[in-house]
Structure 1
Amino acid sequence: MFSGAREAAGLSVTPHDMRHFYASGLIAAGCDVVTVQRALGHASATTTLNTYAHLWPTAEDRTRSAAADLMRSSVVSADSLRTNPLESRSH
Structure 2
Amino acid sequence: MQVGDVDFLRRQIHVQRQVQRADGGSVRITPPRYGSERVVFVPDELIEMIARHIEQIGVHGDEQWLFGNGRGEPPHQNTVGHWWRSLFRRSGLEPFRLHDLRHFSASGLIAAGCDVVTVQRALGHAKATTTLSTYSHLWPTAEDRTRAAASDLMRSIAPSREAEADAG
TM value normalised by structure 1: 0.75
The separation in 2 between residues aligned to 1:20 and 1:62, in whole angstroms, is 23
Residue 33 of structure 1 is matched in structure 2 by 116
| Higher share in helix | 1
Deviation digits for residues 15-38 of structure 1 (CA, Å, limit 9, x no counterpart): 122211111110000001111111
Structure 1 unaligned spans of 5+: 84-91
Residue 44 of structure 1 is matched in structure 2 by 127
Deviation digits for residues 65-87 of structure 1 (CA, Å, limit 9, x no counterpart): 000111112224xx79xx6xxxx
- Paired amino acid for 1:4: S
Count of residues in correspondence between the two structures: 80
Q: Structure 1 residues 23-32 or 4-13, which shifts more?
A: 4-13
Residue 90 of structure 2 is matched in structure 1 by 8
Q: Provide the alpha-carbon RMSD of the alignment.
A: 2.0
Q: 2:158 is paired with a residue of what secondary structure? A: helix
The separation in 2 between residues aligned to 1:45 and 1:4, in whole angstroms, is 36
- Paired amino acid for 1:8: R
Structure 2 unaligned spans of 5+: 1-82
| Higher share in strand | 2
**TM-superposed deviation, 1:41:** 1.5
The separation in 1 between residues aligned to 2:97 and 2:158, in whole angstroms, is 46
Q: Could you say if the C-alpha distance between residues 43 and 7 of structure 1 is closer, same or farther in structure 2, counting changes exceeding 3 Å? A: farther
Give % identity: 66
Runs of 4+ in 1 over 2 A off after TM superposition: none
Match runs of 1:12-91 below 5 Å: 12-76=95-159
